[in-house]
Structure 1
Amino acid sequence: MNILFVCPVFPPEIVPSSVMLDQLTRHLGLTGHKVTMITCFPSLPGGKIFKGYRRRFWKITDTQTLRLIRCFSFTVGTKRKRVWRALSHISFGLVAALRLLFEKKPDVIVADMVPVISSPFIVFLAKLLGIPVVNYIQDLFPEAVASAGMIRRQGVAMRIALMIDALTCRAAGANIVISESFRRALLNSRGVPDNKIFVLHNWIDGSEIRPTSRLNLWRAQAGIPRDKFVAMFAGTLGIVSGAEVLVDVAQELKTSELHDVLILSVGEGVLKEPMIRRSESLGLDNILFLPFQPAAMLSEMQSTADVFLLTMDKSHVNSSVPSKLVTYLAMGRPIICATDENSAVAETVAQAKCGHVVPPGDAKAIASQILNLKKSNSERAFFGASGRSYFQEYYDMPAAMKRFELLLSQLSTMQQMPKTRGSTVESLLNAEKEDRKTSSTIES
């Protein structure tokens, strides 16, 4: 197949979407497909173009497995103002659509872009050109924007944005969503046909990200004492993360006079500096902030954790699924999730039997569960093993690659998608198997 991807992020940026698409495009290229990626010049998470890159209207680089086209877009800037974020995505959508007109017609397009303000440019142009397109949805938009207070949920802007997103999703040949709750949102609020929605969880490479000893070289180099019980938050400290509650959790633990529990935050983001200042003003020595670590050290770094913390802002619990959840599952450690009990994250934790769910922003509840898990070696072992097993079944990279490739193959040849209620990529695989059985019967 000739497959064209469009996504605003790609390595050397290390955000989850870029890492996954790098893995996917490599896999497809190595298995004989012709793969093209249209993306931006790298600027995230800092908001400035990386050293060694000079922004042009577009630049083409050919590698063994990939044709890489970097296109002009505005950058979000170091202050990450909302207007520049919007302009960044709008400009990328426009320039990427223009570049598509210069490309040899692909068999299928995968658009992993911000809905409403970016992806429609590609989806509608592809439909006009007669190219099947997969709308790859990582976040619900405009719900996420409404949750951030940028638009009113019952306002005109919300209705217009939902209408645009509904038209985009219906125009796509297929929509990949990362959770069942997202699938329900497309069905109920966008009116997207069920046979156009496929659930494919985000993935990571389980052979690279795997649990090791908690007492390892990285821990020693980071200066974390052997006897500390480590509750770790690893990921972006962005507004939607709700991570500011970690300082309150540290204060709760300090009040309890337990000095062997350490809250460890590994990552960057707009909340980091305010969190550091507040923890210093409170005189807390049981919370430690470290920057993002090299990818080669990820397994050792996260293996240092005795328990993982996944926090979410109260207003965003139903509009996004933090990618850190997948990594946490892979590491075989219990997870404490501060989120709504009806959210996609809570559903996953319940299905995986990998930890506890507490209300978002509830520092006392988080601290209480940390202490409960600290006291129970057997419960930590059960949750950790159960989470790792669930990861291997649903989130490990090899299986996800095969599912994604099959979906693209089916779509590129315009075969009829399964019309069963609750479509998943598993249903597509089952349909493929049934087709093969039928063919074998006819031939015999």
Structure 2
Amino acid sequence: FGLEGKTVVMYAGNVGWSQSLDLVLAAAGHLAHDPDVAFVINGGGVAREQLRADAAGLHNVHFVDMQPAERLAEVAAAADVHVVPLRTGLARSSVPSKLYTILAAGRPVVASVDRGTEVARTVVDAGAGIAVPPDDAEAFTKAVTSLVERPAEAEAMGASGRRFVERWASPAGVAAAYEQLFAELAGT
């Protein structure tokens, strides 16, 4: 796709009706004037063909087929900024596992999710990106643009997310948390 040297904003995962992928197209349209920014939709699903049709006029949007699970870390590392856009209410009942993969890769994330959800709290508490309200194209576009235009800040957020995962979600981090819990329960 000729993405070398470009800032890559990526959505990776299911391309379905649960994701607000129109937000990605809105951000791509806003940044279409910048030849150094590319948007990648990596995945497949029932909404892919409609999304591809909606993106027809956007030269900076590229579609890549879903990659095998063993390439997940490579896919996560291939982007400069990741996006997790969920429709209103959907982040209340699930946390996409891709969030932890993105954080482990040391990449910042823009999450379009309901306030107070685990996804929003994780992104904010980890200092790993920006959480915006769901289905808010203006806020989403502003957040993506902010990270694209401030690569040092985006890189710092990615590093912060990586540290968060190492501390709280890695096998060693989880084991330490359980040890602490057991010690507290035992009264030691």
Aligned twin of 2:182: 429
Aligned partner of 1:228 in structure 2 is: 6
Residue of structure 1 equivalent to 2:95:
321
Aligned-pair distance for 1:426?
6.0
1:372 and 2:150 matched = no
Higher relative contact order at CA 8 Å, sep ≥6: structure 1 or structure 2?
Answer: 2
TM-score scaled by structure 2? Answer: 0.88
State the aligned residue count: 188
Match for residue 287 of structure 1?
A: 61
1:262 maps to what in 2? 38
- 2:155 pairs with 1:385: no
Work out the CA distance in 2 between the residues paired with 1:431 and 1:315: 35
Shift of 1:431: 4.0
- Is 1:333 aligned with 2:107? yes
Structure 1: distance between partners of 2:138 and 2:2: 24
Q: 2:19 is matched with which residue: 241, 258, 270?
A: 241
Q: Secondary structure at the match of 1:357?
A: strand
- Structure 1 unaligned spans of 5+: 1-222, 404-423, 438-444
Instruction: Indicate the SS of the match to 1:265.
Output: strand
Residues in 2 aligned to 1:310 and 1:395: alpha-carbon distance in whole angstroms: 19
Deviations 1:184-206 (A, max 9, x none): xxxxxxxxxxxxxxxxxxxxxxx
Write the distance in 1 (CA, Å) between the matches of 2:38 and 2:137: 15
Taking structure 1 as the reference length, the TM-score comes to 0.39
Q: Is the CA contact (8 Å cut-off) linking 1:352 and 1:390 kept in structure 2?
A: yes
Q: SS at the partner of 1:259?
A: coil
Distance, in Å, in 1 between the alignment partners of 2:119 and 2:165 is 14
Specify the code of the residue in structure 2 equivalent to 1:275.
L
Q: Alpha-carbon deviations, 1:169-225, whole Å to 9, x = none?
A: xxxxxxxxxxxxxxxxxxxxxxxxxxxxxxxxxxxxxxxxxxxxxxxxxxxxxx332
1:275 lines up with 2:28 in the alignment: no
Picking from 168, 172, 187, the partner of 1:394 is 168
Moved over 4 A (4+): 424-427
Question: Which deviations, in whole Å up to 9, do the C-alpha atoms of 1:146-182 show, x marking residues without a partner?
Answer: xxxxxxxxxxxxxxxxxxxxxxxxxxxxxxxxxxxxx
**Quick check: 2:27–2:145 contact (8 Å CA) kept in 1?**
no
Please state if 1:251 is matched with 2:29. yes
Structure 2 CA distance for partners of 1:245 and 1:376, relative to 1, 3 Å = closer
1:227 maps to amino acid: G
Name the SS for the 2:89 alignment partner. Answer: helix
What is the rounded CA distance, in whole Å, between the counterparts of 1:225 and 1:297 in structure 2?
Answer: 18
AA aligned to 1:279 is: A
Name the SS for the 1:240 alignment partner: coil
> Secondary structure in 1 aligned to 2:10?
strand
Deviation (angstroms), 1:246:
1.7
Question: Partners of 2:67 and 2:2 in 1: how far apart?
Answer: 15
Taking structure 1 as reference, are residues 306 and 382 closer, same or farther at Cα in structure 2, changes over 3 Å only? same
Contact 1:261 1:286 (C-alpha < 8 Å) held by counterparts: yes
- Indicate if the aligned counterparts of 2:73 and 2:101 stay in contact, CA closer than 8 A: no
Aligned counterpart, 1:74: none
Q: Distance in 1 between matches of 2:41 and 2:15?
A: 9
Query: How much does 1:377 deviate?
Result: 2.9
Q: Is the 8 A contact 2:111 2:130 kept in 1?
A: yes
SS at match of 2:96: coil
| Cα separation, 1, equivalents of 2:166 and 2:173 | 9
State the alpha-carbon separation in 2 of the partners of residues 335 and 430 from structure 1.
Answer: 35
Identity %: 32
The one-character-per-residue Cα deviations of 1:359-392 (angstroms, maximum 9, x if unpaired) are 2122232222222222223212210111000001
Distance, in Å, in 1 between the alignment partners of 2:171 and 2:53 is 39
2:3·2:38 contact (CA, 8 Å) conserved in 1? no
1:358 corresponds in structure 2 to: 132
CA separation in 2, counterparts of 1:425 and 1:270? 40
Is the Cα contact below 8 Å between 1:252 and 1:364 reproduced in 2?
A: no
1:425 offset after TM fit, Å? 4.7
Q: Structure 1 residues 297 and 317, CA, compared in 2 at 3 Å: closer, same or farther?
A: closer
Partners of 1:365 and 1:271 in 2: CA distance: 23
